[in-house]
Each structure stands twice: as structure tokens, then as C-alpha cells.
């Protein structure tokens, strides 16, 4: 997987959001809100190829959570990212 070109993570009034910039994202007319851990993952994989396992490993390295919790969170996050069209699977 990889984050598609043209999507930028911004901090707006203390909240993290992903916005589409440029003509290739002209149909993305919304902002995708992210919590701190989702924004952390976005920053870590931006511009790189990554897998669900990579995201799980990043969560385990940064937070004190079980592998099961990290895997469930990554699964939900990737469902959103794919549904919203910000990553290429």
C-alpha cells in the first residue's frame, strides 16, 4: 500500500486532517479527521510502501498496547483510508 499523491496531513486548530491538494484530487472535497495515533502512522509511512503489518509494528513500538488491539485498530484505520481513497491498496 501507499498513500496516494496529493493527500496532505495538516494540523488545523490542534486537529489532524487529511486534505486533497492538486488537480488529481479534485473529487476529494472533504477533510478526513485523524486522531494522534492515526496521524503518527500517516507521518511514518508517507511517501513509502507499507503493509498492515508495518502499521501494527509502528503502534507496538510507540504505544503500550497488545498486538490484538493494534491489529484491530490498523484494520479499522485501513478500511477508512481505502474507502476514502487516500491509499492505493
d(C-alpha 82, C-alpha 84), whole Å: 5
Question: Tens digits of per-residue pLDDT, 27-66?
Answer: 666 779 999 999 999 999 999 999 999 999 999 999 999 9
75 pLDDT higher than 60? yes
d(C-alpha 77, C-alpha 73), whole Å: 6
Answer yes or no: are the C-beta atoms of 42 and 58 closer than 8 Å: no
Rounded to 5 degrees, φ, ψ at 54 are -60, -45
- pLDDT score for 25: 53
Structural domain for 24, as ranges: 2-88
CATH number of the domain enclosing 7 = 1.10.10
Instruction: Write the CA distances from 59 to 38, 40, 50, 54, 62, integer angstroms.
Output: 9, 9, 14, 9, 5
- pLDDT score for 20: 84
- pLDDT score for 24: 58
Q: State how many domains the chain has.
A: 1
If one compares 57 and 19, the residue with the highest pLDDT of the two is: 57
Query: Of the given ranges (1-10, 28-37, 53-62, 75-84), which has the lowest mean pLDDT?
Result: 28-37
Amino acid at each position: 500500500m501507499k498513500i496516494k499523491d496529493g493527500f496532505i496531513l495538516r494540523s488545523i486548530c490542534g486537529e489532524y486532517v487529511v486534505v486533497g491538494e492538486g488537480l488529481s484530487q479534485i473529487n476529494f472535497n472533504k477533510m478526513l479527521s485523524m486522531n494522534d495515533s492515526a496521524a503518527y502512522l500517516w507521518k511514518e509511512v508517507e511517501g513509502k510502501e507499507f503493509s498492515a503489518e508495518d502499521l501494527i509494528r509502528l503502534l507496538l513500538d510507540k504505544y503500550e498496547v497488545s498486538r490484538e488491539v493494534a491489529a484491530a485498530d490498523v484494520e479499522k484505520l485501513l478500511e477508512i483510508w481505502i474507502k476514502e481513497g487516500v491509499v492505493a491498496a
